[in-house]
A and B are shown apart, each in its own frame.
Chain A
Amino acid sequence: MSTQTEFRICATTGFKIDRNAEKLIKANAVVAVVFLAIGGLFGLLVALTRWPAVHFLPADMFYLALTAHGLDVLLVWVIFFEMALLYFTSTVLLNSRMAAPRWGWVAFFEMLIGALMVNVAVLQGDSSVMFTSYVPMRASPMFYLGLIIFAVGALTVCAIFFATLVIAKQEKTYEGSVPLVTFGALVAAIIAVFTLASGAVILIPTFLWSIGLVSHIDPLMYKTIWWAMGHSSQQINMAAQVAIWYAIPAMLFGAKPLSEKVSRMAFLMYILFLQLASAHHLLVEPGLASEWKIFNTSYALYLAVLGSMIHGMSIPGAIEVAQRRRGFNRGIFEWLRKAPWGNPAFSGMFMSLVMFGFLGGISGVVMGTEQINLIMHNTIYVPGHFHATVVAGTTLAFMAMTYLLVPLIFQREVMFPKLARLQPYLFGLGAAGISVFMMGAGTLGVPRRSWDISGADALLPYDFAGAAYMMMGLNGMAAVLAAIGGLSFIVIVVGSVFFGRRIGDTEAIVLQADAAAVGQYGSSDSHDIRGTLVLVAVFFISFVLYYFVNWKYLSEVWPLS
């Protein structure tokens, strides 16, 4: 294959696009979406099984499907899409050629092969160990090997990303500093290197153990290092999705951050404290000192949370300022009411931001509080929390971004525009539903990863309260809604990419119909962001109330020391 660099100029945005990079963006995004479809289907099957009145799969298939679900969505879908984002932010946004396109394809196939190996191992039925694969439970060697190969591929893409940044800098393809969105992607890539290195440290010995070359792996040590990968990888998602939250309003109506300095500092906080994250998962393990847990679980003094809270004001603030400049200046909320709610890129992005903050962010901090974790650890509250972060947050943000990548990178018009308008709402509502209902069931003690909560086949019976069954039923219904939203997304994207009307190289398209140019304004101007201040105040009050309510719940359980 030719690796000569060829550019086209995007007629809509004016960006110079390297065709090699463009092909890789497409390939990675398509594979990502395919695995979202597969993984989402497993998710639906799992949710239907946990709906007590439906109880769809038999036990062995349930645990198999749950393993496949976690791997295919959290690992394969999310990371493949992030690879596409790394290429996009380092080449397109910087008008640069990409480094080592051949290696890009090597990495792509490594990741694909790794993902397929893991899937085959799981579907063969002897690796239903969940994506966490805690030792001493053992999966087939192919399972660990697939993960390792996948990680090597992803690491290669990070290296290409860094090399591309160097090329862009040397060839002066941009002036001054890299754009904020690229900066966010850089943060994501740095965290990814740390994450993947931790993954190698733990998965390679585990692979050797699975083929009998290593005799023993300490379960607590395994968990500590595994979560150094597992939790920091969530910070990759965080950095990537925050970058998208900044990118979409910028692409639709020229929004710019309130302050470059503040937003970049907030991104940096994700890097500074990430290695502490694995403590979240170890709060009720034997023998760990409280001082260690408190320091680590709070990322020093909640400084990474501080970073997110800063973005939480900066992003809606940027949108508000841009909207007011476009003339939606009446009262506190006209800018929000008159936002492009019919454009799935915007509606998806904004819902992702709000749901991530209110549902995922708050619940995460509460659950990660040393003592409060006692009343939540391993209940289904945990999946409830991370479906708010990684489904309502990350996945919805990635979906929103896809609505821009289809016309700009795939050069296809989005098909089924009516369905596309609706899609973020269907998926968003469903995702919010599964999050809230799983969290609800979790506060009633329902365990995660459990085929049956009735104790019907157990020697000693225990049954949960009726309310717990109701929550799990509602969860099943919300799952159906999320699945319909997810399926709509797949149909729209796959349809558009393969059958959508072609957009010619010289044809400019309209990303947002009524987007008057926002014009220039400095970061330091004083801005009218009253609406954002109200939103932030509501968020803060909810946070404080929910936080203390959970201390109250904790104070009611059996004393323990």
Chain B
Amino acid sequence: MAITSPSTKIWWNEPISKQELIWITIAFLWGLVMFFMMIYWHGAGEQNLSSEAYRIKPEVFAERTQAMIDEYTVREEAGFPVVRPPPGSDIYMLARLWQWWPILELEKDKSYRLHLSSLDYQHGFSLQPVNINLQVHPDYEMVVTLTPNQAGEFGVICNEYCGIGHHDMIGKIYVVE
């Protein structure tokens, strides 16, 4: 029994039944498939997270964001600048208690280098309803190349708990044709 010492003392010499061996083999191979699937996707898939990141001081990130806003703001909405940077450029979204700043307006099927960082706590960049989720840290700047393939209005929800205003921390991205 499993609650008493093994009845055969030399249990490690007992042969393993065929059924168990087959299952162990299948399970092992399945593990390999899953392992190589991740590697395969780096070559063949279109959704891979870059590992490009830098250490950055919050003030510096805020300055760069402001520089983009100063250059490319096209209008204002509920107190947020709406910024339309040129396709292919470096774009910034800054997380702070409890805002995603500013609103971005992008063109469909064009790529952008999106920079993300936080000025205070950790936040969660959750693009909805697309459902892409990235972790945003203070002191680290993450850079991902993003290619919106649908036009419309998208929400940026914060999904890392960041205090009492966490659920109000909603930003916006427009994608235009």
Chain A residues proximal to chain B, CB less than 8 Å: 59-60, 63, 93, 128, 130, 134, 136-137, 174-181, 218-220, 246-247, 249-251, 254-262, 283-290, 294, 298, 301-303, 305-306, 309-310, 313-314, 317-318, 365, 369-371, 373-379, 443-445, 447-453, 455, 457-462, 464-465, 520, 522-524, 526-527, 529, 533, 536, 540, 543-544, 547, 551, 554-555, 557-561
Is the contact region of chain B dominated by helix, strand, or loop, or is it mixed?
A: mixed
Q: In the bound complex, how far is the Cα of B145 from the Cα of A73, in angstroms?
A: 40
Asked if B67 lies at the interface with its beta carbon under 8 angstroms from chain A, I say: no
Q: Which residue of A lies closest to B46 (CB)?
A: A559
Most buried by A among B79, B80, B167: B167
Which residue of A313, A371, A378, A444 contacts B45 across the interface (Cβ within 8 Å)? Answer: A371
Q: In the bound complex, how far is the Cα of B24 from the Cα of A261, in angstroms?
A: 13
Cβ-defined contact, A557 with B47, below 8 A = yes
Is the contact region of chain A dominated by helix, strand, or loop, or is it mixed?
A: loop
Given A306-B24, A526-B17: A555 in contact with B169 (beta carbons within 8 A): no
Q: In the bound complex, how far is the Cα of B2 from the Cα of A318, in angstroms?
A: 10
The tally of residues in B whose CB lies under 8 Å from a CB in A reads: 94
Cβ-defined contact, B146 with A560, below 8 A = yes
Cβ-defined contact, A261 with B12, below 8 A = yes
Set of chain B residues within 8 Å of A310, measured between Cβ atoms: 20, 23-24, 27
Q: Which residue of A lies closest to B13 (CB)?
A: A261
Given A137-B163, A310-B24: A290 in contact with B2 (beta carbons within 8 A): no
Set of chain A residues within 8 Å of B160, measured between Cβ atoms: 134, 378, 449
Stretch in contact with the other chain, from B34-42, B68-76, B86-94: B34-42
Q: Kindly provide the distance from the CB of A350 to the nearest chain B CB, expressed in whole angstroms.
A: 15
| Contacts of B100-134 to chain A: CB distance below 8 A | 103, 116, 120-122, 124, 126-134
Q: Which residue of A lies closest to B34 (CB)?
A: A302
Cβ-defined contact, B135 with A377, below 8 A = yes
Q: Which residue of A lies closest to B148 (CB)?
A: A558
Asked if B95 lies at the interface with its beta carbon under 8 angstroms from chain A, I say: no
Which residue of B4, B148, B167, B171 contacts A451 across the interface (Cβ within 8 Å)? Answer: B167
Cβ-defined contact, B16 with A448, below 8 A = no
Asked if B60 lies at the interface with its beta carbon under 8 angstroms from chain A, I say: no
Cβ-defined contact, B17 with A258, below 8 A = yes
Cβ-defined contact, B52 with A246, below 8 A = no
Set of chain A residues within 8 Å of B35, measured between Cβ atoms: 294, 298, 301-302
Set of chain B residues within 8 Å of A457, measured between Cβ atoms: 167-168
Set of chain B residues within 8 Å of A289, measured between Cβ atoms: 51
Q: Which residue of B lies closest to A536 (CB)?
A: B23
Q: Which residue of B lies closest to A92 (CB)?
A: B3
Cβ-defined contact, A460 with B159, below 8 A = no
Cβ-defined contact, A260 with B6, below 8 A = yes
Cβ-defined contact, B147 with A375, below 8 A = no
Cβ-defined contact, B23 with A287, below 8 A = no
Asked if B166 lies at the interface with its beta carbon under 8 angstroms from chain A, I say: yes
Which residue of B20, B47, B141, B155 contacts A555 across the interface (Cβ within 8 Å)? Answer: B47
**Subset of 23 A-B contacts with CB under 8 Å:** A59-B167, A93-B3, A219-B139, A259-B14, A259-B17, A286-B137, A301-B32, A302-B32, A306-B27, A306-B28, A371-B38, A374-B133, A375-B131, A377-B133, A449-B160, A458-B167, A459-B79, A459-B80, A462-B170, A523-B8, A540-B30, A559-B146, A560-B46
